[in-house]
Amino acid sequence: MTKYMLIYRSPAAAMQEFQPSPEQMQAMMKQWDEWKQAFKDNILEVGDGLKTEGRVLQPDDTVTDGPFIEAKELFGGFSMIQADSFEEAVKVSRACPVRHMPGNSVEIRELAGY
Protein backbone atom coordinates (compact mmCIF):
# COMPACT_ATOMS: atom_id res chain seq x y z
CA MET A 1 0.00 0.00 0.00
CA THR A 2 1.06 3.55 -0.69
CA LYS A 3 1.20 6.20 2.05
CA TYR A 4 -0.66 9.49 1.69
CA MET A 5 -0.79 12.65 3.75
CA LEU A 6 -4.15 14.36 4.11
CA ILE A 7 -3.59 18.08 4.57
CA TYR A 8 -6.52 19.92 6.11
CA ARG A 9 -7.01 23.45 4.86
CA SER A 10 -9.40 26.02 6.23
CA PRO A 11 -10.21 29.62 5.33
CA ALA A 12 -8.32 31.80 7.84
CA ALA A 13 -11.47 33.70 8.83
CA ALA A 14 -13.39 30.49 9.49
CA MET A 15 -10.70 29.18 11.82
CA GLN A 16 -10.80 32.38 13.86
CA GLU A 17 -14.59 32.39 14.06
CA PHE A 18 -15.18 28.70 14.84
CA GLN A 19 -15.65 28.26 18.58
CA PRO A 20 -17.50 24.97 19.14
CA SER A 21 -19.53 24.38 22.29
CA PRO A 22 -18.67 21.39 24.50
CA GLU A 23 -21.61 19.50 22.93
CA GLN A 24 -20.36 20.28 19.42
CA MET A 25 -16.87 19.11 20.40
CA GLN A 26 -18.29 15.81 21.68
CA ALA A 27 -20.22 15.33 18.42
CA MET A 28 -17.09 16.10 16.38
CA MET A 29 -14.99 13.64 18.40
CA LYS A 30 -17.67 10.98 17.83
CA GLN A 31 -17.40 11.58 14.07
CA TRP A 32 -13.61 11.20 14.25
CA ASP A 33 -13.95 7.95 16.21
CA GLU A 34 -16.43 6.60 13.66
CA TRP A 35 -14.10 7.57 10.79
CA LYS A 36 -11.13 5.87 12.51
CA GLN A 37 -13.16 2.72 13.02
CA ALA A 38 -14.58 2.63 9.48
CA PHE A 39 -11.11 3.02 7.91
CA LYS A 40 -8.92 1.35 10.55
CA ASP A 41 -6.99 -0.54 7.85
CA ASN A 42 -6.16 2.72 6.06
CA ILE A 43 -5.48 5.23 8.82
CA LEU A 44 -1.85 5.10 9.96
CA GLU A 45 -1.89 8.28 12.06
CA VAL A 46 -5.08 10.20 12.68
CA GLY A 47 -2.86 13.26 13.11
CA ASP A 48 -3.90 16.42 14.85
CA GLY A 49 -5.02 19.96 14.33
CA LEU A 50 -2.59 22.83 14.43
CA LYS A 51 -2.78 25.91 16.60
CA THR A 52 -2.72 29.20 14.73
CA GLU A 53 0.58 30.42 16.21
CA GLY A 54 3.89 29.20 14.80
CA ARG A 55 7.42 30.11 13.76
CA VAL A 56 9.19 30.08 10.41
CA LEU A 57 12.88 29.17 10.21
CA GLN A 58 14.35 31.17 7.33
CA PRO A 59 17.24 30.04 5.08
CA ASP A 60 19.53 32.59 6.79
CA ASP A 61 18.73 30.93 10.17
CA THR A 62 16.52 33.75 11.44
CA VAL A 63 13.22 32.83 13.06
CA THR A 64 10.09 34.85 12.35
CA ASP A 65 6.52 34.63 13.55
CA GLY A 66 4.20 32.60 11.39
CA PRO A 67 2.12 31.33 9.79
CA PHE A 68 1.85 34.44 7.72
CA ILE A 69 -1.09 36.60 8.76
CA GLU A 70 -1.98 37.59 5.20
CA ALA A 71 -2.73 33.98 4.32
CA LYS A 72 -6.29 33.47 3.09
CA GLU A 73 -6.10 29.77 3.83
CA LEU A 74 -4.42 27.97 6.71
CA PHE A 75 -2.96 24.51 7.00
CA GLY A 76 -5.10 23.42 9.94
CA GLY A 77 -4.09 19.81 10.50
CA PHE A 78 -3.16 16.47 8.96
CA SER A 79 -3.60 12.71 8.94
CA MET A 80 -1.52 9.91 7.46
CA ILE A 81 -3.24 7.09 5.61
CA GLN A 82 -2.36 4.17 3.35
CA ALA A 83 -4.29 3.09 0.29
CA ASP A 84 -3.87 0.96 -2.83
CA SER A 85 -4.53 3.94 -5.13
CA PHE A 86 -5.34 7.64 -5.24
CA GLU A 87 -8.97 6.66 -5.78
CA GLU A 88 -9.01 4.72 -2.52
CA ALA A 89 -7.26 7.63 -0.74
CA VAL A 90 -9.99 9.95 -2.04
CA LYS A 91 -12.64 7.54 -0.71
CA VAL A 92 -11.07 7.62 2.77
CA SER A 93 -10.77 11.42 2.55
CA ARG A 94 -14.39 11.91 1.54
CA ALA A 95 -15.49 10.38 4.83
CA CYS A 96 -13.12 12.50 6.94
CA PRO A 97 -15.01 14.63 9.50
CA VAL A 98 -12.90 17.71 8.82
CA ARG A 99 -14.82 18.12 5.55
CA HIS A 100 -18.00 18.96 7.49
CA MET A 101 -16.63 22.30 8.67
CA PRO A 102 -17.57 25.26 6.45
CA GLY A 103 -15.05 25.97 3.69
CA ASN A 104 -12.62 23.19 4.61
CA SER A 105 -10.81 21.16 1.99
CA VAL A 106 -8.56 18.12 2.12
CA GLU A 107 -5.42 17.97 0.00
CA ILE A 108 -4.30 14.40 -0.69
CA ARG A 109 -0.56 13.96 -1.30
CA GLU A 110 1.29 10.73 -1.98
CA LEU A 111 4.50 10.37 0.02
CA ALA A 112 7.65 10.02 -2.04
CA GLY A 113 8.96 7.11 0.01
CA TYR A 114 12.57 8.27 0.25
Per domain, the residue ranges of the chain are: 1-16+37-51+80-114
Secondary element (H or E) of residue 37? helix 22-38
pLDDT of residue 14: 65
Residue scoring higher pLDDT (22 or 67): 22
Task: Report d(CA 106, CA 100) in Å as an integer.
Answer: 11
Question: Mean pLDDT, the chain, as a whole number?
Answer: 87
Residue scoring higher pLDDT (57 or 90): 90
- pTM here is 0.82
Residue scoring higher pLDDT (96 or 50): 96
**What is the pLDDT averaged over residues 92-96?**
95
The alpha carbon of 28 is separated from its chain's Cα centroid by a whole number of angstroms, namely 14
